[in-house]
Structure 1
Amino acid sequence: MNKLKHDEINGLHERIGINHHAQILAWQHMPSWRRLEIAFQAYQFTLDMVRFTEQKRHPHMYAWKLQWRIIRRMQGNQQLGKDMTGFQNLSCLNKEQSMTSMHDLSAFFQKVVNTLEALQIPYMISGGFAAVFYGEPRLTIDIDIVVDIHVQHIKPLVASFPLPRYYTSEESMRDSIRRNYPFNIIDTSTGVKADMIPLPKNDIFSRIAFNRRQTEVYNPHGDTADFISMEDIVLAKLYAHQKTGSDKHLRDAKGVLATRWHEIDMDMLRKIAGRTDVMDMFEQIYDMARREIEGE
Protein backbone atom coordinates (compact mmCIF):
# COMPACT_ATOMS: atom_id res chain seq x y z
CA MET A 1 0.00 0.00 0.00
CA ASN A 2 1.47 3.39 -0.95
CA LYS A 3 1.92 6.11 1.69
CA LEU A 4 -0.90 8.31 0.33
CA LYS A 5 -3.44 5.46 0.50
CA HIS A 6 -2.18 4.48 3.96
CA ASP A 7 -2.60 8.06 5.21
CA GLU A 8 -6.12 8.26 3.73
CA ILE A 9 -7.20 5.10 5.55
CA ASN A 10 -5.63 6.21 8.83
CA GLY A 11 -7.40 9.57 8.49
CA LEU A 12 -10.71 7.81 7.87
CA HIS A 13 -10.10 5.59 10.89
CA GLU A 14 -9.68 8.69 13.05
CA ARG A 15 -12.98 10.14 11.79
CA ILE A 16 -15.22 7.09 12.03
CA GLY A 17 -13.49 5.08 14.74
CA ILE A 18 -11.80 1.71 15.04
CA ASN A 19 -13.58 -1.32 16.44
CA HIS A 20 -11.66 -3.88 18.46
CA HIS A 21 -11.34 -7.35 16.97
CA ALA A 22 -13.21 -8.84 19.96
CA GLN A 23 -16.12 -6.46 19.39
CA ILE A 24 -16.37 -7.52 15.76
CA LEU A 25 -16.43 -11.17 16.81
CA ALA A 26 -19.24 -10.42 19.28
CA TRP A 27 -21.32 -8.78 16.55
CA GLN A 28 -20.66 -11.65 14.16
CA HIS A 29 -22.03 -14.17 16.67
CA MET A 30 -24.99 -11.97 17.60
CA PRO A 31 -28.38 -12.64 15.93
CA SER A 32 -29.47 -9.77 13.71
CA TRP A 33 -32.61 -9.24 15.78
CA ARG A 34 -30.45 -8.75 18.87
CA ARG A 35 -28.69 -5.82 17.18
CA LEU A 36 -32.11 -4.29 16.57
CA GLU A 37 -32.92 -4.75 20.26
CA ILE A 38 -29.76 -2.82 21.16
CA ALA A 39 -30.83 -0.02 18.82
CA PHE A 40 -34.29 0.03 20.44
CA GLN A 41 -32.67 0.17 23.89
CA ALA A 42 -30.50 3.11 22.82
CA TYR A 43 -33.56 4.93 21.49
CA GLN A 44 -35.50 4.13 24.66
CA PHE A 45 -32.75 5.57 26.88
CA THR A 46 -32.41 8.72 24.75
CA LEU A 47 -36.16 9.29 24.67
CA ASP A 48 -36.50 8.86 28.43
CA MET A 49 -33.71 11.39 29.04
CA VAL A 50 -35.27 13.90 26.64
CA ARG A 51 -38.67 13.41 28.28
CA PHE A 52 -37.18 13.88 31.76
CA THR A 53 -35.37 17.12 30.85
CA GLU A 54 -38.40 18.59 29.04
CA GLN A 55 -40.69 17.81 31.98
CA LYS A 56 -38.25 19.55 34.32
CA ARG A 57 -37.93 22.59 32.07
CA HIS A 58 -41.67 22.94 31.43
CA PRO A 59 -43.53 21.59 34.48
CA HIS A 60 -46.71 23.58 33.71
CA MET A 61 -46.92 22.99 29.95
CA TYR A 62 -49.99 21.27 28.50
CA ALA A 63 -49.34 17.55 28.01
CA TRP A 64 -49.95 17.66 24.24
CA LYS A 65 -47.51 20.55 23.78
CA LEU A 66 -44.89 18.87 25.92
CA GLN A 67 -45.16 15.62 23.99
CA TRP A 68 -44.67 17.39 20.67
CA ARG A 69 -41.61 19.21 22.06
CA ILE A 70 -40.18 15.80 22.92
CA ILE A 71 -40.99 14.36 19.49
CA ARG A 72 -39.45 17.36 17.69
CA ARG A 73 -36.29 17.16 19.78
CA MET A 74 -35.93 13.46 19.12
CA GLN A 75 -36.42 13.89 15.38
CA GLY A 76 -34.55 17.18 15.02
CA ASN A 77 -37.47 18.68 13.12
CA GLN A 78 -39.29 21.64 14.64
CA GLN A 79 -42.11 21.47 12.08
CA LEU A 80 -43.43 18.02 12.96
CA GLY A 81 -47.06 18.13 14.02
CA LYS A 82 -47.45 21.86 13.32
CA ASP A 83 -50.20 21.14 10.79
CA MET A 84 -52.32 19.15 13.26
CA THR A 85 -55.22 20.61 15.21
CA GLY A 86 -57.16 19.41 18.22
CA PHE A 87 -54.22 17.95 20.13
CA GLN A 88 -55.53 19.52 23.35
CA ASN A 89 -58.03 16.66 23.47
CA LEU A 90 -55.69 13.78 22.76
CA SER A 91 -56.15 11.37 25.62
CA CYS A 92 -53.00 9.39 24.79
CA LEU A 93 -50.71 12.31 25.64
CA ASN A 94 -50.18 11.98 29.37
CA LYS A 95 -47.84 14.51 30.96
CA GLU A 96 -46.86 12.01 33.62
CA GLN A 97 -46.23 9.29 31.05
CA SER A 98 -44.01 6.51 32.42
CA MET A 99 -40.70 5.56 30.90
CA THR A 100 -40.80 4.02 27.45
CA SER A 101 -40.54 0.27 27.06
CA MET A 102 -38.36 -1.31 24.40
CA HIS A 103 -41.45 -3.41 23.61
CA ASP A 104 -43.33 -0.21 22.68
CA LEU A 105 -40.69 0.61 20.08
CA SER A 106 -40.48 -2.87 18.55
CA ALA A 107 -44.30 -3.09 18.58
CA PHE A 108 -44.49 0.04 16.41
CA PHE A 109 -42.08 -1.48 13.89
CA GLN A 110 -44.09 -4.69 13.87
CA LYS A 111 -47.35 -2.79 13.36
CA VAL A 112 -45.93 -0.89 10.38
CA VAL A 113 -44.64 -4.11 8.77
CA ASN A 114 -47.85 -6.03 9.44
CA THR A 115 -49.96 -3.19 8.04
CA LEU A 116 -47.95 -2.95 4.83
CA GLU A 117 -48.23 -6.69 4.33
CA ALA A 118 -51.97 -6.74 5.11
CA LEU A 119 -52.56 -3.96 2.57
CA GLN A 120 -50.30 -5.74 0.05
CA ILE A 121 -47.96 -2.77 -0.27
CA PRO A 122 -44.53 -4.07 -1.34
CA TYR A 123 -41.83 -2.59 0.91
CA MET A 124 -38.15 -2.75 1.84
CA ILE A 125 -36.53 -1.82 5.17
CA SER A 126 -33.51 0.33 4.38
CA GLY A 127 -31.36 3.14 5.79
CA GLY A 128 -29.76 3.13 9.23
CA PHE A 129 -32.22 0.57 10.56
CA ALA A 130 -31.08 -1.97 7.96
CA ALA A 131 -27.43 -1.07 8.57
CA VAL A 132 -27.91 -1.86 12.27
CA PHE A 133 -29.66 -5.12 11.41
CA TYR A 134 -26.72 -6.29 9.32
CA GLY A 135 -23.84 -4.53 11.04
CA GLU A 136 -22.83 -2.33 13.95
CA PRO A 137 -25.50 -1.61 16.59
CA ARG A 138 -26.11 2.12 17.09
CA LEU A 139 -28.83 4.62 17.87
CA THR A 140 -31.17 5.37 14.99
CA ILE A 141 -34.12 7.72 15.43
CA ASP A 142 -36.29 6.59 12.56
CA ILE A 143 -37.07 3.66 10.30
CA ASP A 144 -36.57 4.11 6.56
CA ILE A 145 -38.95 2.02 4.48
CA VAL A 146 -39.09 2.10 0.67
CA VAL A 147 -42.68 1.43 -0.41
CA ASP A 148 -44.20 0.69 -3.80
CA ILE A 149 -47.27 2.70 -2.86
CA HIS A 150 -50.10 3.92 -5.08
CA VAL A 151 -53.10 6.18 -4.67
CA GLN A 152 -55.46 3.29 -3.88
CA HIS A 153 -53.36 2.45 -0.81
CA ILE A 154 -53.68 5.87 0.83
CA LYS A 155 -57.07 5.71 2.56
CA PRO A 156 -56.62 2.23 4.09
CA LEU A 157 -53.10 3.14 5.22
CA VAL A 158 -54.27 6.32 6.93
CA ALA A 159 -57.13 4.39 8.54
CA SER A 160 -54.63 1.89 9.95
CA PHE A 161 -52.81 4.64 11.88
CA PRO A 162 -55.57 6.77 13.41
CA LEU A 163 -55.35 9.71 15.79
CA PRO A 164 -54.70 10.15 18.62
CA ARG A 165 -52.04 7.46 18.83
CA TYR A 166 -50.49 8.07 15.41
CA TYR A 167 -49.61 11.05 13.27
CA THR A 168 -49.85 10.86 9.49
CA SER A 169 -52.10 12.44 6.89
CA GLU A 170 -53.79 11.63 3.62
CA GLU A 171 -52.66 14.94 2.16
CA SER A 172 -48.99 14.26 2.89
CA MET A 173 -49.24 10.80 1.33
CA ARG A 174 -50.81 12.13 -1.85
CA ASP A 175 -48.17 14.84 -2.08
CA SER A 176 -45.46 12.27 -1.39
CA ILE A 177 -46.57 10.02 -4.24
CA ARG A 178 -46.89 12.98 -6.60
CA ARG A 179 -43.49 14.48 -5.74
CA ASN A 180 -41.69 11.21 -4.94
CA TYR A 181 -40.82 12.51 -1.49
CA PRO A 182 -40.99 10.69 1.90
CA PHE A 183 -43.97 10.93 4.24
CA ASN A 184 -44.04 10.12 7.96
CA ILE A 185 -45.91 7.83 10.29
CA ILE A 186 -45.20 8.79 13.91
CA ASP A 187 -46.14 7.00 17.10
CA THR A 188 -46.97 10.02 19.27
CA SER A 189 -46.58 8.05 22.50
CA THR A 190 -42.91 7.26 21.85
CA GLY A 191 -41.83 9.74 19.18
CA VAL A 192 -40.51 6.96 16.95
CA LYS A 193 -40.97 7.68 13.26
CA ALA A 194 -41.20 5.64 10.08
CA ASP A 195 -40.06 7.49 6.96
CA MET A 196 -42.01 6.00 4.08
CA ILE A 197 -40.12 6.52 0.83
CA PRO A 198 -42.03 5.97 -2.41
CA LEU A 199 -40.08 3.68 -4.73
CA PRO A 200 -38.21 6.09 -7.05
CA LYS A 201 -39.32 5.88 -10.64
CA ASN A 202 -36.02 6.93 -12.21
CA ASP A 203 -33.44 5.64 -9.73
CA ILE A 204 -32.11 2.44 -11.29
CA PHE A 205 -30.13 1.34 -8.23
CA SER A 206 -33.13 1.74 -5.91
CA ARG A 207 -35.35 -0.30 -8.19
CA ILE A 208 -32.77 -3.07 -8.60
CA ALA A 209 -32.16 -3.14 -4.83
CA PHE A 210 -35.92 -3.30 -4.28
CA ASN A 211 -36.15 -6.36 -6.52
CA ARG A 212 -33.25 -7.97 -4.62
CA ARG A 213 -34.77 -7.39 -1.17
CA GLN A 214 -34.66 -10.34 1.21
CA THR A 215 -37.02 -11.67 3.86
CA GLU A 216 -35.29 -11.74 7.25
CA VAL A 217 -36.26 -12.67 10.82
CA TYR A 218 -36.32 -9.48 12.91
CA ASN A 219 -37.26 -10.66 16.43
CA PRO A 220 -36.78 -13.70 18.68
CA HIS A 221 -40.33 -14.87 17.93
CA GLY A 222 -39.49 -15.60 14.29
CA ASP A 223 -41.45 -12.73 12.71
CA THR A 224 -40.12 -11.65 9.33
CA ALA A 225 -39.87 -8.51 7.21
CA ASP A 226 -38.41 -7.57 3.83
CA PHE A 227 -34.99 -5.90 4.12
CA ILE A 228 -32.61 -4.45 1.59
CA SER A 229 -29.83 -6.99 0.99
CA MET A 230 -26.57 -6.66 2.92
CA GLU A 231 -24.68 -5.92 -0.30
CA ASP A 232 -27.12 -3.22 -1.36
CA ILE A 233 -27.11 -1.46 2.04
CA VAL A 234 -23.31 -1.13 1.74
CA LEU A 235 -23.70 0.39 -1.72
CA ALA A 236 -26.56 2.61 -0.57
CA LYS A 237 -24.43 3.91 2.30
CA LEU A 238 -21.54 4.66 -0.06
CA TYR A 239 -23.89 6.58 -2.35
CA ALA A 240 -25.34 8.42 0.66
CA HIS A 241 -21.85 9.47 1.77
CA GLN A 242 -21.06 10.64 -1.74
CA LYS A 243 -24.22 12.76 -1.71
CA THR A 244 -24.09 14.14 1.85
CA GLY A 245 -20.47 13.86 2.95
CA SER A 246 -21.59 12.41 6.29
CA ASP A 247 -19.11 9.92 7.74
CA LYS A 248 -21.87 8.05 9.59
CA HIS A 249 -22.70 6.36 6.28
CA LEU A 250 -19.13 5.09 5.95
CA ARG A 251 -19.19 3.80 9.52
CA ASP A 252 -22.42 1.96 8.74
CA ALA A 253 -20.96 0.48 5.54
CA LYS A 254 -17.79 -0.61 7.34
CA GLY A 255 -19.86 -2.13 10.13
CA VAL A 256 -21.81 -4.27 7.67
CA LEU A 257 -18.64 -5.39 5.87
CA ALA A 258 -16.89 -6.37 9.11
CA THR A 259 -19.88 -8.05 10.72
CA ARG A 260 -20.87 -9.96 7.56
CA TRP A 261 -17.29 -10.57 6.42
CA HIS A 262 -17.80 -14.30 5.83
CA GLU A 263 -21.25 -13.97 4.23
CA ILE A 264 -21.30 -10.87 2.06
CA ASP A 265 -20.61 -11.14 -1.68
CA MET A 266 -17.44 -9.04 -2.02
CA ASP A 267 -17.08 -9.84 -5.71
CA MET A 268 -20.54 -8.46 -6.40
CA LEU A 269 -19.78 -5.33 -4.41
CA ARG A 270 -16.53 -4.71 -6.27
CA LYS A 271 -18.22 -5.29 -9.62
CA ILE A 272 -21.02 -2.79 -8.94
CA ALA A 273 -18.82 -0.24 -7.15
CA GLY A 274 -16.38 -0.46 -10.06
CA ARG A 275 -19.05 0.81 -12.42
CA THR A 276 -19.52 3.98 -10.39
CA ASP A 277 -17.30 6.53 -8.70
CA VAL A 278 -17.53 4.98 -5.22
CA MET A 279 -14.90 2.31 -5.90
CA ASP A 280 -12.08 4.15 -4.12
CA MET A 281 -14.17 4.64 -1.01
CA PHE A 282 -15.28 1.00 -1.09
CA GLU A 283 -11.64 -0.13 -1.17
CA GLN A 284 -10.84 2.09 1.79
CA ILE A 285 -13.62 0.80 4.01
CA TYR A 286 -12.90 -2.75 2.82
CA ASP A 287 -9.30 -2.42 3.99
CA MET A 288 -10.43 -0.87 7.29
CA ALA A 289 -12.86 -3.74 7.88
CA ARG A 290 -10.14 -6.26 7.00
CA ARG A 291 -7.78 -4.71 9.55
CA GLU A 292 -10.47 -4.91 12.22
CA ILE A 293 -11.22 -8.54 11.35
CA GLU A 294 -7.54 -9.48 11.50
CA GLY A 295 -6.95 -7.47 14.67
CA GLU A 296 -4.28 -5.17 13.19
Structure 2
Amino acid sequence: MNEGETELLAALARVVTAFEALGVDYLVAGSIASSVFGEPRQTVDADLVAHLQPGNAGPLVEQLFGEFYADLAAILAAIQSQGSFNLIHLETMTKVDVFVRWRDPFARSQFARRQKKSVGQSAPLELFFASAEDTVLAKLDWYRKGGCVSDQQWRDLLSVLKVQAGALDRAYLAHWSGELGVTDLLRRALDEAGLTGSGRG
Protein backbone atom coordinates (compact mmCIF):
# COMPACT_ATOMS: atom_id res chain seq x y z
CA MET A 1 0.00 0.00 0.00
CA ASN A 2 1.43 3.36 -1.00
CA GLU A 3 1.48 6.54 1.06
CA GLY A 4 -1.56 8.00 -0.67
CA GLU A 5 -3.69 4.95 0.05
CA THR A 6 -2.52 4.90 3.67
CA GLU A 7 -3.50 8.55 4.08
CA LEU A 8 -6.85 7.91 2.42
CA LEU A 9 -7.72 5.05 4.75
CA ALA A 10 -6.56 7.04 7.78
CA ALA A 11 -8.84 9.93 6.81
CA LEU A 12 -11.70 7.53 6.14
CA ALA A 13 -11.22 5.85 9.52
CA ARG A 14 -11.30 9.20 11.31
CA VAL A 15 -14.58 10.19 9.65
CA VAL A 16 -16.08 6.79 10.45
CA THR A 17 -15.02 7.20 14.08
CA ALA A 18 -16.88 10.52 14.17
CA PHE A 19 -19.99 8.93 12.67
CA GLU A 20 -19.89 6.10 15.18
CA ALA A 21 -19.49 8.54 18.07
CA LEU A 22 -22.67 10.28 16.89
CA GLY A 23 -24.56 7.04 16.27
CA VAL A 24 -24.74 7.69 12.52
CA ASP A 25 -25.09 4.64 10.28
CA TYR A 26 -22.74 4.64 7.28
CA LEU A 27 -21.39 2.42 4.55
CA VAL A 28 -18.30 2.62 2.37
CA ALA A 29 -19.13 2.76 -1.34
CA GLY A 30 -17.42 3.73 -4.59
CA SER A 31 -13.93 2.70 -5.62
CA ILE A 32 -12.87 1.39 -2.21
CA ALA A 33 -15.89 -0.93 -2.11
CA SER A 34 -15.27 -2.19 -5.64
CA SER A 35 -11.63 -2.84 -4.71
CA VAL A 36 -12.74 -4.92 -1.72
CA PHE A 37 -15.20 -7.03 -3.74
CA GLY A 38 -13.31 -7.00 -7.04
CA GLU A 39 -9.73 -6.50 -8.17
CA PRO A 40 -7.82 -4.09 -5.90
CA ARG A 41 -6.77 -0.87 -7.58
CA GLN A 42 -5.23 2.38 -6.48
CA THR A 43 -7.80 5.03 -5.67
CA VAL A 44 -7.50 8.65 -4.59
CA ASP A 45 -11.00 9.17 -3.27
CA ALA A 46 -13.22 7.78 -0.55
CA ASP A 47 -17.00 7.65 -0.76
CA LEU A 48 -19.28 7.21 2.22
CA VAL A 49 -23.06 6.99 2.32
CA ALA A 50 -24.37 8.25 5.66
CA HIS A 51 -27.73 8.39 7.44
CA LEU A 52 -27.22 11.93 8.69
CA GLN A 53 -29.97 14.02 10.28
CA PRO A 54 -29.97 17.83 10.70
CA GLY A 55 -29.11 17.45 14.38
CA ASN A 56 -25.91 15.59 13.46
CA ALA A 57 -24.41 18.44 11.42
CA GLY A 58 -23.09 20.66 14.21
CA PRO A 59 -21.73 17.79 16.33
CA LEU A 60 -20.01 16.31 13.25
CA VAL A 61 -18.20 19.59 12.59
CA GLU A 62 -17.18 19.69 16.25
CA GLN A 63 -15.94 16.08 16.13
CA LEU A 64 -13.69 16.86 13.16
CA PHE A 65 -12.64 20.38 14.17
CA GLY A 66 -8.94 21.04 13.68
CA GLU A 67 -8.45 17.93 11.56
CA PHE A 68 -10.84 18.41 8.65
CA TYR A 69 -12.32 21.22 6.66
CA ALA A 70 -16.05 20.72 7.24
CA ASP A 71 -18.55 23.35 6.09
CA LEU A 72 -21.64 23.36 8.32
CA ALA A 73 -23.84 25.04 5.71
CA ALA A 74 -22.82 22.52 3.04
CA ILE A 75 -23.53 19.62 5.39
CA LEU A 76 -26.97 20.96 6.29
CA ALA A 77 -27.78 21.57 2.62
CA ALA A 78 -26.75 18.01 1.73
CA ILE A 79 -28.91 16.60 4.50
CA GLN A 80 -31.89 18.64 3.34
CA SER A 81 -31.51 17.73 -0.34
CA GLN A 82 -30.20 14.16 0.14
CA GLY A 83 -27.11 15.35 -1.68
CA SER A 84 -23.39 15.23 -0.88
CA PHE A 85 -20.60 17.21 0.76
CA ASN A 86 -16.83 16.99 1.12
CA LEU A 87 -14.66 16.56 4.19
CA ILE A 88 -11.02 17.48 3.57
CA HIS A 89 -8.25 16.29 5.87
CA LEU A 90 -6.18 19.40 6.51
CA GLU A 91 -2.78 17.76 6.96
CA THR A 92 -2.86 15.61 3.82
CA MET A 93 -5.63 17.33 1.79
CA THR A 94 -7.26 13.92 1.42
CA LYS A 95 -10.92 14.23 0.45
CA VAL A 96 -13.79 12.11 1.74
CA ASP A 97 -17.06 12.48 -0.17
CA VAL A 98 -20.16 11.93 1.95
CA PHE A 99 -23.48 11.15 0.26
CA VAL A 100 -26.54 11.67 2.43
CA ARG A 101 -28.99 9.06 1.23
CA TRP A 102 -31.56 7.23 3.30
CA ARG A 103 -34.99 8.34 2.08
CA ASP A 104 -35.15 6.45 -1.22
CA PRO A 105 -35.88 2.69 -1.30
CA PHE A 106 -32.55 1.69 -2.84
CA ALA A 107 -30.58 3.53 -0.16
CA ARG A 108 -32.64 1.83 2.54
CA SER A 109 -31.93 -1.53 0.93
CA GLN A 110 -28.21 -0.74 0.83
CA PHE A 111 -28.16 -0.02 4.56
CA ALA A 112 -30.17 -3.17 5.34
CA ARG A 113 -27.60 -5.29 3.45
CA ARG A 114 -24.35 -3.57 4.44
CA GLN A 115 -21.49 -5.89 5.42
CA LYS A 116 -18.48 -5.51 7.67
CA LYS A 117 -15.24 -6.05 5.77
CA SER A 118 -11.52 -5.53 6.37
CA VAL A 119 -9.56 -3.05 4.29
CA GLY A 120 -5.87 -2.18 4.46
CA GLN A 121 -2.81 -4.33 5.04
CA SER A 122 -0.52 -3.26 7.87
CA ALA A 123 -3.37 -2.27 10.19
CA PRO A 124 -6.62 -3.53 8.67
CA LEU A 125 -9.76 -1.52 9.35
CA GLU A 126 -13.13 -3.14 9.99
CA LEU A 127 -15.70 -0.99 8.23
CA PHE A 128 -19.26 -1.35 6.97
CA PHE A 129 -19.44 -1.68 3.18
CA ALA A 130 -22.20 -1.69 0.62
CA SER A 131 -22.72 -5.30 -0.53
CA ALA A 132 -21.17 -6.53 -3.76
CA GLU A 133 -24.55 -6.38 -5.50
CA ASP A 134 -25.26 -2.85 -4.27
CA THR A 135 -21.78 -1.74 -5.31
CA VAL A 136 -22.46 -2.98 -8.84
CA LEU A 137 -25.92 -1.39 -8.94
CA ALA A 138 -24.69 1.96 -7.65
CA LYS A 139 -21.90 2.03 -10.22
CA LEU A 140 -24.34 1.14 -13.00
CA ASP A 141 -26.54 4.01 -11.84
CA TRP A 142 -23.59 6.44 -11.78
CA TYR A 143 -22.43 5.17 -15.17
CA ARG A 144 -25.81 5.92 -16.71
CA LYS A 145 -26.18 9.29 -15.00
CA GLY A 146 -22.71 10.22 -16.23
CA GLY A 147 -23.67 9.60 -19.83
CA CYS A 148 -22.22 6.07 -20.05
CA VAL A 149 -18.73 7.42 -20.71
CA SER A 150 -16.78 6.52 -17.55
CA ASP A 151 -14.49 3.63 -18.46
CA GLN A 152 -13.27 3.44 -14.86
CA GLN A 153 -16.79 2.97 -13.45
CA TRP A 154 -17.40 0.23 -15.99
CA ARG A 155 -14.10 -1.53 -15.24
CA ASP A 156 -14.82 -1.35 -11.51
CA LEU A 157 -18.22 -2.98 -11.76
CA LEU A 158 -16.99 -5.63 -14.20
CA SER A 159 -14.24 -6.46 -11.73
CA VAL A 160 -16.78 -7.04 -8.95
CA LEU A 161 -18.96 -9.21 -11.20
CA LYS A 162 -16.01 -11.35 -12.30
CA VAL A 163 -14.56 -11.87 -8.82
CA GLN A 164 -17.87 -12.48 -7.04
CA ALA A 165 -19.40 -14.44 -9.95
CA GLY A 166 -21.56 -17.28 -8.60
CA ALA A 167 -21.81 -15.70 -5.14
CA LEU A 168 -23.92 -12.85 -6.53
CA ASP A 169 -27.63 -12.69 -5.79
CA ARG A 170 -28.85 -12.43 -9.36
CA ALA A 171 -32.52 -12.04 -8.39
CA TYR A 172 -31.62 -9.00 -6.28
CA LEU A 173 -29.57 -7.54 -9.13
CA ALA A 174 -32.44 -8.08 -11.56
CA HIS A 175 -35.00 -6.46 -9.25
CA TRP A 176 -33.03 -3.34 -8.44
CA SER A 177 -31.62 -2.87 -11.93
CA GLY A 178 -35.24 -2.60 -13.03
CA GLU A 179 -36.07 -0.13 -10.27
CA LEU A 180 -33.03 2.00 -11.14
CA GLY A 181 -33.57 1.80 -14.89
CA VAL A 182 -30.28 0.06 -15.65
CA THR A 183 -31.47 -3.41 -16.68
CA ASP A 184 -29.93 -3.05 -20.12
CA LEU A 185 -26.58 -2.06 -18.63
CA LEU A 186 -26.67 -4.97 -16.17
CA ARG A 187 -27.28 -7.42 -19.01
CA ARG A 188 -24.39 -5.94 -20.96
CA ALA A 189 -22.11 -6.10 -17.91
CA LEU A 190 -23.03 -9.71 -17.11
CA ASP A 191 -22.37 -10.64 -20.72
CA GLU A 192 -18.97 -8.90 -20.75
CA ALA A 193 -18.11 -10.57 -17.43
CA GLY A 194 -18.97 -13.98 -18.89
CA LEU A 195 -21.83 -14.54 -16.46
CA THR A 196 -24.80 -14.73 -18.81
CA GLY A 197 -27.11 -17.52 -17.72
CA SER A 198 -25.19 -18.35 -14.52
CA GLY A 199 -25.32 -17.31 -10.89
CA ARG A 200 -27.45 -17.63 -7.77
CA GLY A 201 -31.10 -16.70 -7.69
TM-score past 0.5 threshold: yes
Is 2:112 the partner of 1:211? yes
* Corresponding residue number in structure 1 for 2:93: 191
**Equivalents in 2 of 1:128, 1:121: separation in Å?**
22
**Equivalents in 2 of 1:199, 1:284: separation in Å?**
27
Match 1:125 to one of 10, 23, 28: 28
Residues 132 and 168 in structure 2, CA contact (< 8 A), matched pair in contact too: yes
- Listed one character per residue, the Cα deviations across residues 194-249 of structure 1 (whole Å, up to 9, x for unaligned) are 11111242x32122212221122223445311111101111111111111122322
Gap runs ≥5 in structure 2: 196-201
Q: CA RMSD in A?
A: 2.2
| Greater Rg by CA | 1
Which of the two has greater strand per residue?
A: 2
What number of residue pairs does the alignment pair up? 192
Match 2:53 to one of 143, 146, 150: 150
Is 2:10 the partner of 1:107? yes
CA drift at 1:104: 3.1
- Listed one character per residue, the Cα deviations across residues 172-199 of structure 1 (whole Å, up to 9, x for unaligned) are 2222222322111111222211111112
Match 1:265 to one of 161, 166, 169: 169
Gap runs ≥5 in structure 1: 1-36, 45-101, 292-296
- Listed one character per residue, the Cα deviations across residues 128-158 of structure 1 (whole Å, up to 9, x for unaligned) are 2211221133333321111111122122211
**Equivalents in 2 of 1:248, 1:194: separation in Å?**
19
Match 1:141 to one of 44, 48, 51: 44
Residues 24 and 51 in structure 2, CA contact (< 8 A), matched pair in contact too: yes
AA at the equivalent of 1:224: E
SS at match of 1:261: helix
**Equivalents in 1 of 2:100, 2:172: separation in Å?**
26
CA drift at 1:122: 0.7
Q: Where do residues 169-188 of structure 1 align in structure 2 (5 Å cutoff)?
A: 169-188=71-90
**Equivalents in 2 of 1:109, 1:200: separation in Å?**
20
- Listed one character per residue, the Cα deviations across residues 90-145 of structure 1 (whole Å, up to 9, x for unaligned) are xxxxxxxxxxxx54332212111122112111111112221122113333332111
SS at match of 1:290: coil
AA at the equivalent of 2:114: R
